Amino acid sequence: MSAMDIISCRFTGTFGGFGLDAAFETPAQGVTALFGPSGCGKTSVLRCIAGLQKVHDGYCRIGASLWQDGANFLPTWKRPVGYVFQEASLFPHLSVKQNLLYGAPRGGERAVHFDEVTELLGVTRLIDRMPRHLSGGERQRVAIGRALLSEPRLLLMDEPLAALDRETKDEILPFLDRLHDRLSMPIIYVSHDISEVERFADRIVLMRQGRVIANGALADVMSNPDLPLARAREASVVMEAEVTGYDAAYGLARLRVAGGEILAPSAPLEPQQRRRIRIGAGDVSLALEHAHQTTILNILSARIASATQLPTGDMLAVLHLGESGEGAALLARVTRRSWETLQLRVGLAVFAQVKGVSMALK
Amino acid sequence: MSAELWQPIRLTIELAGLTTLILLIIGTPVAWKLSRHDAWWKHALMAVVAMPLVLPPTVLGFYLLLLLGPSGPGGALASLWGARTMAFSFTGLLIGSVIFSLPFVVQPIHNAFRAMGDRPMEVAATLRASPVRAFWTVAVPLARPGFLTAAMLGFAHTVGEFGVVLMIGGNIPGQTKVLSIAIYDFVETSRWREANILAAGMVAFAFGVILAMNMLEHRMARDNA
């Protein structure tokens, strides 16, 4: 990867007693999640990237264009960003159509087509309305469309779902999935909800108290036992999977992941479709022999790659799928008693019994 | 109706209209600057702008008289076109009215800009709008109710001013004899009928302005809900 394809940021400063000292690099493609608890500085980082907030000691380069360094600071309106705020923030005095076109380049060839965006976001029938006549979910979709139509080179999303209720979230999520699949522009997505991150992100930048504590591919960061994500009660891993078959009688999809094959309940799928699956650390148990008479559908060969004792006393094991341990990483949380009774240790070949697999809906 | 009645009415409308126009032009940038971010000097400036609310009109009139009179800067300026003083002229009255009505125009606009918050301007900037375009296409339309209130209050307040006019305007028919002075004058000379016509007209005008303002505010609040 050359410097041309990298987003590189470093922001150091204090605002209102809060210290920010965050630096990270991420490829200028796909979705990078900025993830951390509320108040860890994720939004500040995003605002700094957009130029809405200015730290004196900052550096921001998007591919070949420098947006900020010691001497230079490009004002927000000269940066080709799209920004989706937590609240839709539509202009109340403009119609949906006028809102959508506010930032669209005038004249000339448009790279992003109005009809395409309105269709993608399902707002075509709303374009003559005023924002006050829209539901919360519709507003947020219009806000996303407005950002896209300004033809940004980088899309920044600041918890676009956080202000919405569960039902509205479910209404918007499929549209975000489509964005992820259809858009080529890089997205930086701020969230404190791991389920959103699991669903969209390709990479994750983990933040705590104004600092970046980890940065890498989503699956790697989630399965790293030294990081808080894997140690959390609801820890899980995600894997990219390819559909190899579908059993309509039982509603089960057969999926190939690196180092194994998994059955998961699902709506009908076509072979070769790609899906992302999620497996919780608490849903994986370990056995030394392959159980035959069991209700557990997925029993996978794996090798123990590492083991960590958690403060709760439980053991957190990182497994690599496959007989020789060359496949995808899986987390298993087991009691220390079981660990010792079975004499489990790093390097041992085991069978991972997976009780629950969920699929990112698309 | 006689010219004696009409002249002060026309003069008052001219004065109030021009004052309002000038105040909207200079008050808008002042209100905008004051509404963005807090700095100590903004509080000081705000206090200066608001001073006419507190000061007796005679105090204001007194200083304006010194300022505009033959030995003040106004007099020096007036000598450029051969006049001796800017006091006791329509121009002087206009300057006085602008200063006196400043808070009535700046404050509603300022409040409207503040109520809007930073977000709309931030959104505009992320949509590649230059600060100037964002100001005209976002800030001004969103502050529309504030502008309307400002214009009405500025106009109405100028129409109602008496003390300052008395101090710096005098009583020159067609030049500085505005409505409030004319009423005073009619009363002084025991012409109650004329005084009554103008006074009743003012009462109706004041009622109309306040009613219109209330109704407009109500409608805009509903539209922006």
Do residue A83 and residue B129 have CB atoms under 8 angstroms apart? Answer: no
Chain A contacts of B131, Cβ < 8 Å? 77
Given the structure tokens 């005023």, which residue do they identify?
A130
Q: In 10 A of CB A102, how many CB atoms?
A: 22
Contact B64, B88 (CB under 8 A): no
3-state SS of B45-75 is HHHHHHHHHHCCHHHHHHHHHHHHCCCCHHH
Report CA A342 to chain centroid distance, whole Å: 36
Residue count of chain A, please give it: 362
Question: Which residue of chain B is at minimal alpha-carbon distance from A105?
Answer: B128
Do residue A50 and residue B126 have CB atoms under 8 angstroms apart? Answer: yes
Ordered per-residue pLDDT tens for chain A, 362 residues: 566 689 999 999 987 778 899 999 999 988 999 999 988 999 999 999 999 999 989 999 999 999 999 889 999 999 999 999 999 999 999 999 999 999 998 876 777 789 888 988 889 999 999 999 999 889 999 999 999 999 999 999 999 888 888 888 887 788 777 777 777 889 999 998 888 898 889 999 999 999 999 999 999 999 999 999 998 888 999 999 999 999 999 999 999 999 999 999 988 888 988 889 999 999 999 999 888 888 888 999 999 999 999 998 899 999 999 988 889 999 999 999 999 999 999 999 999 999 988 876 54
Given the structure tokens 């990867």, which residue do they identify?
A1
Interface test with A, best of B128, B132, B133, B222 (most A CBs within 10 A): B128
pLDDT value at B225 more than 90 = no
Facing residue for A150 by CB, picked from B128, B134, B225: B128
What dihedral do alpha carbons A130, A134, A136, A142 form, nearest 10°?
-60
Facing residue for A81 by CB, picked from B126, B137, B225: B126
pTM: 0.86
Q: Which residues are paired to A280 by β-bridges?
A: A236
Q: Which domains does chain B have, with CATH numbers?
A: 3-224 (1.10.3720.10)
Chain B contacts of A102, Cβ < 8 Å? 124, 127, 129, 137
Tell me how close the Cα of B152 comes to any Cα of chain A, in angstroms.
Answer: 22
pLDDT at A362: 46
Contact A162, A193 (CB under 8 A): yes
Q: In 10 A of CB A242, how many CB atoms?
A: 13
Do residue A52 and residue B122 have CB atoms under 8 angstroms apart? Answer: yes
Question: Which residue of chain A is at minimal alpha-carbon distance from B143?
Answer: A93
Given the structure tokens 């808070």, which residue do they identify?
B103
Interface test with A, best of B126, B130, B220 (most A CBs within 10 A): B126
Q: What's the rounded Cα separation, in Å, for the pair A278 and A360? A: 7
Q: What's the rounded Cα separation, in Å, for the pair A148 and A290? A: 51
3-state SS of B95-113 is HHHHHHHHHHHHHHHHHHH
Question: Which residue of chain B is at minimal alpha-carbon distance from A84?
Answer: B123
Contact A277, A262 (CB under 8 A): yes
Question: What is the per-residue burial (b if ≥16 Cβ within 10 Å, else e) of A329-362?
Answer: bbbbbbeeeebeeeebeeebebbbbbebbbbbeb
Which of A4, A3, A7 is CA-nearest to residue A203? A7
Chain A contacts of B140, Cβ < 8 Å? none
pLDDT value at B164 more than 60 = yes
